[in-house]
Amino acid sequence: MHRQESLDTHRSPAEALRIDAVSEVERLSLALREDLQGRFRRRGAVVGCSGGVDSSVVMALCARALGPKRVLAVLMPERESSPESVTLARSWAEALGIETVTEDITEALEGAGCYRRRDEAVRRIFPEYAQGWKCKISLPDDLLDKETLNVFSLTVVSPQGVEQRKRLMADEYYQVVAASNFKQRTRMAMLYYHAELRNYAVVGTANKNEHDLGFFVKYGDGAVDLAPIQHLFKTQVYMLAEQLGVPEDIRRRPPTSDTYSAGSTQEEFFFRISFDMLDRIWRRWEQGATPEVIGTEFGLTAEQVRRVVDDLARKNRTTEYLRAPALTYPFPDGDVSSLVRHAAKQNVPAGSGAQERRAPRA
């Protein structure tokens, strides 16, 4: 405990991550307005709002860029999400003058088998898991204190509040994650429904931590038209939140994925270290500082810094496929003329099906 207190007071996050929040708000607001109206030719913006700081900042930026009447906040609870998420999101949208739409996605998730498929995997580990129980998955905590691999564990909580935890094997892990990802993909489908209904664009809420380390679902919360805060560390998002007047109830709320019924913070589920320390180490590492220098600056050992840097590099490397566009396989010269030449060689009229061939001459 004494060590953590000394870390928190050794250096302010602003010293390593300082940005001019006033200028950045103006820059992003102008860019959103120009891109939405010019490049995308859309009338407004749709934002999925979770009651967290990221979506609250994006919602405020869109309101500044376009005016609140051209922004729609979509709230998408389901039976396992926190009621606080909807309450905070709606309150902030109303303060900004933004219209809200609430879409409960529980029935869609039930229809896709989200809960059933996940629970099948959970019961292979905890056979007693039943209605009224809750679950979550998480990585080992305290990255600074010991070297541990990114191996997920499953925690279940009985109706009486008794917790049990076991390591997730590969098959069960993949099934729990694949089933849970229905939530993010269903939400994104709903956002595009409302965007297409109004000729709006979908504005994403992912920050640098989430994007660069793969803390998002491909074609789920990663599928957006614009990503205005994707370059910002989480701590920098908080700086914008303060500048934009985001309520303290939202700024003080521990960041959560709001995916698992038992509830877990983003730190517990994925990042394994506070954003305050993670972002400072990450930023200094990007600036070329060695683990020894970073450790001296923040009251850590070089080995502790190396563990954090190695974890950052590993997560970035292993999630590269999430950020990659779909692979394509064009003809070698890359233009349509190759298709015509290919058809000619095969004695096939250009534009006919690939399996169609001219009848042999008599």
pLDDT of residue 149: 63
Helix axes 302-318, 275-286, angle to 10 degrees: 80
pLDDT of residue 265: 65
Q: Which residues of 182-204 are buried (b: 16+ CB within 10 A; e: fewer)?
A: bbbbbbbebbbebbeeeebbbbb
Q: What are phi and psi of 197, to 5 degrees?
A: -60, -35
Amino acid of residue 146:
K
Q: Which of 244, 208, 236, 216 is nearest to 60 (CA)?
A: 244
SS3 332: coil
pLDDT of residue 6: 35
pLDDT of residue 122: 97
Residue 139: count of CB within 10 angstroms of its CB: 18
Average pLDDT over residues 298-321: 92
Whether 14 has a pLDDT exceeding 70, the answer reads: no
148 burial type by CB count under 10 A (0-12 exposed, 13-18 middle, 19+ buried): middle
Confidence tier at 142 by pLDDT (50, 70, 90): low
Q: Which CATH architecture has domain 111-175?
A: 2-Layer Sandwich (3.30)
pLDDT (tens digit per residue) in 40-87: 999 999 999 999 999 999 999 999 999 999 999 999 999 999 999 999
Which of the two residues, 357 and 216, has the higher pLDDT score? 216
Which whole-number Å values give the CA distances from 241 to 37, 113, 187, 207, 234, in the listed order? 25, 37, 24, 13, 11
pLDDT of residue 362: 37
β pairing state of 201-202 and 163-167: unpaired
pTM of the model: 0.84
Q: Give the DSSP letter string of 163-201.
A: EEEEEPPHHHHHHHHHHHTHHHHHHHHHHHHHHHHHT-E
Pure H helices in the chain = 2-10, 13-17, 21-34, 53-66, 83-96, 106-112, 114-125, 170-180, 182-198, 208-213, 234-244, 248-251, 266, 275-286, 291-298, 302-318, 320-323, 337-345
> Average pLDDT, whole number, for the chain?
87
Which of the two residues, 209 and 10, has the higher pLDDT score? 209
pLDDT of residue 3: 35
151 burial type by CB count under 10 A (0-12 exposed, 13-18 middle, 19+ buried): exposed
Handedness of CA 205, 207, 212, 216 (dihedral sign): negative
Query: What is the Cα gyration radius of the chain?
Result: 24
| Residue indicated by tokens 């909807």 | 86
Which of the two residues, 339 and 297, has the higher pLDDT score? 297
Q: Which residues of 239-253 are buried (b: 16+ CB within 10 A; e: fewer)?
A: bbbebbebeeebeeb
Average pLDDT over residues 110-138: 95
Which whole-number Å values give the CA distances from 218 to 113, 203, 215, in the listed order? 19, 16, 10
Q: Give the DSSP letter string of 107-156.
A: HHHHHHTHHHHHHHHHHHH-TT--TT-EEEEE--S-TTTS------EEEE
pLDDT of residue 254: 82
Amino acid of residue 190:
M
Lowest mean pLDDT among 226-230, 331-335, 352-356: 352-356
Distance CA 144, CA 120 (A): 34
Average pLDDT over residues 237-246: 97
pLDDT of residue 256: 72
In this chain, the answer to whether the domains covering 2-110+179-323 and 111-175 adopt an identical fold is no
Distance CA 192, CA 210 (A): 21
Ranges of each domain in the chain: 2-110+179-323, 111-175
Any residues with CB less than 8 A from the CB of 194 and at least 6 apart, and which?
A: 46, 72, 74, 101, 200
Assess contact for 293 and 303: CB atoms under 8 A. Answer: no
Superfamily of domain 2-110+179-323 in CATH is: HUPs (3.40.50.620)
Distance CA 232, CA 230 (A): 6
Instruction: Name the DSSP class of 57.
Output: H
Handedness of CA 224, 225, 231, 236 (dihedral sign): negative
